[in-house]
Amino acid sequence: MLLPSLKLSSRLYLMMLFLESILVGWLLSEYKAHWLIWSGTQTLSFYLAWVGSDAIALAVAWVVAVVWSGTLFRSIPRSVQEASITVWAGALILSWLLGLAFVLTLAFAKRVTNSVNLRQAEAFWMRLLITWVGFGVGWIVDNIFMLGLID
Using one digit for the tens of pLDDT, what is the confidence trace for 19-56? Answer: 999 999 998 998 888 899 999 999 999 999 999 999 99
The string over 125-145, giving b where at least 16 C-beta atoms fall within 10 Å of a residue's C-beta and e elsewhere, is ebbbebbbebbebbbebbeee
- Distance between CA atoms of 119 and 110, rounded to whole angstroms? 12
Using one digit for the tens of pLDDT, what is the confidence trace for 78-125? Answer: 666 666 778 777 878 888 999 999 999 999 998 888 877 778 888 899
The string over 3-23, giving b where at least 16 C-beta atoms fall within 10 Å of a residue's C-beta and e elsewhere, is eeebeeebeebbeebbebbbb
- Distance between CA atoms of 94 and 99, rounded to whole angstroms? 8
Question: pTM of the entire structure?
Answer: 0.86
